[in-house]
Amino acid sequence: VQADGTDGNCVTFVLHDEDHTLGNSLRYMVMKNPDVEFCGYCITHPSESKINFRIQTRGALPAVEPFRKGLNDLMGVCQHVLSTFE
């Protein structure tokens, strides 16, 4: 993961070897946070397996915080689905 951005509350994370599966799920989880003003992602080119994932927060909250929380929440949801399936 690379993080590009001069302002701490508006950062673009570059996720390598990922596609829409993670991008859309993570965007949904991050947007559930009321401190997030904008969250979106794009795939630069169909032949490249990387995502540009952008988060902009309200106030002084650094964008990396909802990014981490979104990843942890998504992991929890996946664990719940797996345990229910098993």
Q: Is residue 1 part of a domain?
A: no
Question: How many domains, in total, are found in the chain?
Answer: 1
Q: Which domain, by its residues, includes 70?
A: 8-83
Q: Is residue 66 part of a domain?
A: yes
Q: For residue range 7-61, what is the model confidence (pLDDT) as tens digits?
A: 788 999 999 999 999 999 999 999 999 999 999 999 988 888 899 999 999 988 9
Helix, strand, coil percent values for the chain (each to nearest 5): 40, 30, 30
Q: pTM (2 decimals)? A: 0.86
